[in-house]
Amino acid sequence: MNKKFCNGSGRNVANSQEPEVEKEEITYASALREEGINEGFVARKLKDLLRAQGQRWNPKKGSWEKVEDYGTQLAALREIAKILGIYATADESSGVLRLHLDSMPKRRPTANTQ
pLDDT in tens, 60-86: 999 999 999 999 999 999 999 988 888
- Tell me the pTM: 0.53
Mean pLDDT, range 29-45, rounded to an integer: 94
How buried is residue 52: exposed, middle or buried, by Cβ count under 10 Å (0-12/13-18/19+)? middle
Among residues of the chain, what percentage have pLDDT more than 90? Answer: 47
Which of left, alpha, beta for 63 (phi over 0: left; psi -120 to 50: alpha)? beta
